[in-house]
Every structure is written in C-alpha cells, then in structure tokens.
Amino acid sequence: MKIVDVISQKGKPILSFEIIPPNRGGSILDIYNVVDGLMNFSPSFINVTKHANEVEYLENGLEVNKIIVNKRPGTVGISAALKNRYNVDVVPHLICVGFNKYQLEDILIDLHYLGIENVFVVRGDKNRYTFREFDEHKYACDLVEQIVNLNKGIYVYPTRYNYSTDFCIGVAGYPEKHFESPNLEKDLDNLKLKIELGAQFIITQMFFDVNYYINFLDKISERGINVPVIPGLKPIVSKKSLYNIPKSFFVNIPKELVEAFDEAKTPKDEFNVGVKHTIKMIEELLSSGVPGVHIFTMGKGDAVKEVLREFQNVF
C-alpha cells in the first residue's frame, strides 16, 4: 500500500523502521535476525537505505587497477525479501550520486515489477571516495521529477510502450537544516520544491530534542507544506555513538542527554540512558499528534525492542 494511504487509513500513529544493508559479503540472516524480533511490534513499513558506489585503487603486481565498488549493495533485493518474508510494505531508498537517470530508471522498473509501491528519494552522501557519474541528478528534487514523470508513463529512455508506474515518493526533511544549506529558510525552500514536484511524505533526519521537530512543523506549515512529516528517531545507546552521531549527521545533542551519558558508569547504564531518552521523545511526539514514528534501527535491535515495550498497543 502507499505510505500516504497507510497513514490515512490506520486511525492511529504508525510505526516504521529503517534498516541498512549488510556490508558487502555479509548475510541477509543478520537482517532477518533484527527484523524477526521487531515484527511483533507491527511496523507499517520498513525503509532500506541505499549507499553510494566508491572508487578504489587495487594494487595488482606492477599495475594499479581502479575499481568501483558498492560496500553495501542489495537495497532492491533486501526490500523484496522483506516484503515476501513479512508481508510488510517496504520503502527502498534511491540516491542520485553515482547513478545516471537511465540506471535509476532500470531500478525503478525492477521495483515496479516487484510490486513495491513506495520509494524514498535522497541525493546521497558525498565524500572523497564517492564515485560520481558525470551526468547524475544534482539534487533529490530532480529524481523526484523523474519518478513523477515515470508515473505518467514518461520514460527517460525513449520506449514504444510508456506503461505508467504509480510510486508514492518520500523525501528527507532536516529539522536542524541540512548541513550544506546556508540557513534553515533556504533548506525549507528546497523541501517545498520537492513537495511541489510531487513528493507525498517526509521523513525527518534524526533529532534529539522534540522542540526541533515542533519548530520545523510550524515553519513548514507556514510555507503551505501539508504532507505527513514522520519524525526519524535514533536511539543513542553508547558514549561512542554520542560523539560519532554529530560528526556523521550534523545534529545537536541536548545538554541533559550529554550529562546523563557523562554520569553513566557502565555500558548497561549508557544503554539505559539512551532507551529512556528515546521513550521520553516518543511520548512527547505522540502527545503532539505525529502521524507516526520512524526508528533508525541500524544495529540497535535490542534498544529498539526495549523502547517499544513501553508502547504496546499504541501503534
């Protein structure tokens, strides 16, 4: 089902999870191990992230060979496997960096054949190793436009048939602004453009103070954006993560949470601090009337289960 229909028909907040494909050479059993334990909480959908190709130079005797490798392949296959195994809606991510519009069109055709009705469209992270396709889309909005066209039967590769797809498109929103944007207002202009072009729901970047989400909602509704905005939550359950998360995701951690981690003496204490904070955030979000709660479960199945035990029958 389309995510927007799931939200409008459920009659109560929806729960969703996000998983990350295993590192290249890993096993889908690692995914099943986490998701098996989470299905009892009746998630409405599961996102599967997509990661950029990287350029590597391999020494081969006297030669150095350049290769392009994806360290976490499998987004389409894992999405299909989850859909079949659990009979749950899946939302594979599509990224712009490293792909041209023809390659993206082929991925969309595969998703359509698989009966996958939702996609989450992001530009993709860039670093010095990221492989860049010379004619890739510059921004997520350009890929939104491509998919909206495909939904009308307009293919980028000319075809005799022009069969239409019917994807429901989600995009990312940044309550604390995207790190490359000069200010929140400019970032919101770009978010608005993605919605005007046809994206139908927003999942936010992780945040650790509910006030960011509330302010963000106020600002976007002032701009006339009225699609569902699902808050993205990440339980931080170690001091190591506390210090890595801002580096990776450019988000602020509130003073109280940092202080609580400072007082934690054992890994179990750290785990409890993170679980408690996430429970408090979900309670605050539910009382502000969110459409749902989206949890980045990445490698943290135990913490997610511990958090959700507090919310039996809520979702």
Ligand X SMILES: NC(=O)C1=CN([C@@H]2O[C@H](COP(=O)(O)OP(=O)(O)OC[C@H]3O[C@@H](n4cnc5c(N)ncnc54)[C@H](O)[C@@H]3O)[C@@H](O)[C@H]2O)C=CC1
- Residue ranges in contact with ligand MHF by CB under 6 A: 18, 20, 49, 125, 205, 232, 234, 241, 244-245, 248-249, 296, 298-299
Three state DSSP letters for 198-258 = CCCEEEECCCCCHHHHHHHHHHHHHCCCCCCEECEECCCCCHHHHHHHHHHHCCCCCHHHH
Kind and range of the H or E element at 108?
Answer: helix 101-113
Tokens of 207: 């945040």
Tell me whether residue 106 or residue 125 sits nearer to ligand MHF (CB atom). 125
Rg (CA), the chain: 20
Stretch that binds ligand X, among 7-15, 38-46, 135-143, 239-247 (CB under 6 A): 135-143
Burial label for 19, CB within 10 Å (0-12, 13-18, 19+), is buried
Partner interacting with residue 257 (select from ligand X, ligand MHF, none; CB below 5-8 Å by kind):
none
Question: Does 122 sit near ligand X (CB under 6 A)?
Answer: yes
Is residue 304 near ligand X by the rule CB under 6 A?
no
Segment holding 150, helix H or strand E = helix 140-151
Buried b (16+ CB within 10 A) or exposed e, 50-74: bbbbbeeeeeeeeeeeeeeebebbb
When CB distances are held under 5 to 8 angstroms depending on the partner's kind, the choice from ligand X, ligand MHF, none that residue 244 binds is ligand MHF
Of the candidate residues 74, 124, 175, 198, the single one contacting ligand X (CB under 6 A) = 124
Q: Which does 241 bind (CB under 5 to 8 A by kind): ligand MHF, ligand X, none?
A: ligand MHF
According to the binding rule CB under 6 A, does residue 172 interact with ligand X?
yes
DSSP one-letter code for 22: P
Q: Which stretch binds ligand X (CB under 6 A): 5-13, 116-124, 153-161, 213-221?
A: 116-124
Q: Is residue 213 within 8 Å of residue 231, measured between CB atoms?
A: yes
Q: Are strands 14-19 and 89-95 parallel, antiparallel or unpaired?
A: unpaired
Site mask, ligand X, residues 30-59, x = CB under 6 A? -------------------xxx--------
Identity of residue 183: N
Asked if residue 294 binds ligand X (CB under 6 A), the reply is no
178 touches ligand X by CB under 6 A: yes
**Cα angle 119, 86, 311; round to 5:** 90
Which entry of ligand MHF, ligand X, none binds 298, CB below 5 to 8 A by partner kind? ligand MHF
In the complex, what is the shortest distance from the CB of residue 245 to ligand MHF, in angstroms, rounded to a whole number?
A: 6
Q: Closest-CB residue for ligand MHF?
A: 244
Of the pair 13, 231, the CB lying nearest ligand MHF is at 231
Residues contributing to the site for ligand X (CB under 6 A): 49-51, 93, 95, 122-125, 139-141, 172, 178, 180-181, 186-187, 190, 193
